[in-house]
A and B are shown apart, each in its own frame.
Chain A
Amino acid sequence: MLFRYLIILLILLPLKAFALIEVDITRGNLSPLPVAVSPLSIDEKSKINFKKILKKNDLGSEISSVIENNLRQSGLFNPLNKNAFLQKPEIANLKPRFEDWNLIKAQALITGKVTFIDEKLRVEFRLWDVLAGKEMIALAFTTVPSNWRRVGHIIADKVYERLTGENGYFDTRIIYVSEEGPKTNRIKKLAIMDQDGFNNKFLTLGNELVLTPRFSPTNQMVTYLSYFRNLPRVYLLDIETGMQEVVGDFPGMTFAPRFSPDGKKIIMSFAKDGNSDIYTMDLENRVVERITNHPSIDTSPSYSPDGKYITFNSDRSKYQQIYVMKSNGKDVKRISFGNGLYGTPVWSPRGDLIAFTKLHKGKFYIGVMRADGTGERLLTENFYQEAPSWSPNGRVLIFYRETKTNSKGEGFSAKLWSIDLTGYNERMVDTVMDASDPSWSSLLSN
């Protein structure tokens, strides 16, 4: 449904080259940019139609809430209280009285209009530089009404891009494992949701253990580990059709799967007779290639975005460390050298950094290092946390945490958390139930 999405872009005025407002996302942001997100204006007839179809009283207000929440959650923007707004949405969208918005200290202003036309949803929006008194972006979208949340996400991405100079990450989904039940017998299901927690859907029933799901580059498929029939193997799942198929015909456990950046291969571990090595399988011709051949445990492989290198986890030097090798398995180099154990390496979509989990003196850390192992930076510490996954712009990491149980074995919970690369804006990602093993999609509109 989401993939029959129509966009018609109308650039109504030329973009201005100078940006008087700019947001720097390379440092910790202690003063988020004050931005006013005006409710999108909507005429009475459209309001009634959308209320009938979507059961939403005021779609203009709803879409602006999606935009506002995204901007606030990013930690870079401070959406101002609507009660202070002086101009009505309809008027502000045509020509804002900048003094009014200046008065409440807004530096950027978002206005827009929502219309029901030919059974479709049409949204126009504008981003204004309040201090300069100029329009920065003007765009319009047309799509099916049920896609209204995605319109909010795309607008937030456009605003983010214009003001930071970086790609956004709001029009994305998270795939994860939904968990419930006692620790000794957890029920786990694959689940998918919008990055802001809405539209949660379960993809499996919970009859067999499922772990570590990851998106394909087009976001249409998922690869994961399933214990179907008590045989742990890597599977593929088509998100739209729900069809599942086992990857290859391996005579033993396969696990830790990921897609190659071109989507053509699955890379994974295969365990046999006490040894785990890294293999790939071509999804088209089904050819299996062995990438590592070492008596140590080799697992958690992750490709560089250009597909030329693989980072992985190995205990070939006795304890878990992070290694990088060429994608044909040659030139294996260890890159982790700090104190402690290292695991779950994952290459940033920007190609510059590798995120990882570290265990040292009984504490777990999420950190990043450059692909040559230099510049190790620990972002957060906890009793237990692991498995970071990158947002598509390489600026945010999502991971999961578990809590300690008390002496009676009670109090256990698992939740998703996210943190910016700067180490700021650490926040819990709310899920319907307990959750683990999150993986971030690429931008849906690509």
Chain B
Amino acid sequence: MYQGETMKINKIFKNGFLILLASLVLTACTTQKKTTGQLQGDVYTGSDSVEYLASGVADRVFFATNETVLTTPARETLRKQAAWLRKNSKLTVVLEGHADERGTREYNLALGERRANSAKDYLMTYGISSDRISVLSYGKERPVDSGSNPLAWSKNRRSVTVKAN
């Protein structure tokens, strides 16, 4: 009888230990990639400075430092922009690419151009023809937030879709 009970207690300890271990590991995972209210990693996820091309269609996507790759939320936004552009087939747009101030001026001009082109390429995969989309880089010349802190910089690393006609 004792043996059976000991085994049950052992099992409870074992399960309890595993649950504790699992919860510790999960919390460790979330602290590695910080999600505060407005940043995921160092990509801006907030709504400050975001404007709308149409109801529910945000006009911009954000990037990580030194990156030109589209994040998942960026692709979501661009899909909505593509849908809106398909509906309004006469519209043309300019994609304006930007960088934050924490880099050299000329490289940032190239980085802004590459970011805007990432967004353009994605819109094209959703059927928007390339002659409806032009690209313009402002490098770090037109920050939307003049702060000198990571949150401000994250808002400035962006590609903005602007109506051209």
Interface positions of A (Cβ within 8 A of B): 182-186, 209, 211-212, 225, 230, 232, 253, 255-256, 269, 271, 273-276, 297, 299-300, 313, 315, 319-320, 341, 343-344, 357, 359, 362, 383-384, 386-387, 402, 404-405, 407, 409, 412, 437
Contacts and interface: CB of A to CB of B under 8 A. Distances in A.
Contact of B110 (A183, A299, A344, A404): A299
Given A209-B141, A407-B147, A402 B109 contact: no
B104 A384 contact: no
A253 B118 CA distance: 16
B118 A232 contact: no
Contacts of B148: 383, 404-405
A359 B102 contact: yes
Contacts of B64: none
B158 to A, nearest CB: 13
B147 A313 contact: no
B73 to A, nearest CB: 21
Given A274-B68, A407-B147, A256 B106 contact: yes
A320 B66 CA distance: 9
Nearest to A400: B105
Nearest to A275: B114
B11 to A, nearest CB: 50
Interface in B44-89: 66, 68
> Which of B66, B68, B107, B149 is most buried by chain A, counting CB atoms within 10 A of its CB?
B107
Contact of B147 (A253, A297, A402, A405): A405
A176 to B, nearest CB: 13
A320 B137 CA distance: 18
B107 A299 contact: yes
B109 to A, nearest CB: 5
Interface in B102-136: 102-107, 109-111, 113-114, 117-118, 121, 136
Nearest to A188: B141
A315 B147 CA distance: 27
A255 B146 contact: no
A384 B101 CA distance: 9
Contacts of A232: 109, 136-137
Contact of A256 (B109, B118, B137): B109
24 contacts: A183-B146, A184-B145, A185-B142, A186-B141, A209-B141, A230-B136, A232-B137, A253-B113, A271-B109, A273-B117, A297-B107, A297-B110, A297-B111, A297-B114, A300-B104, A320-B103, A343-B103, A343-B106, A343-B107, A344-B106, A357-B104, A405-B148, A407-B147, A407-B149
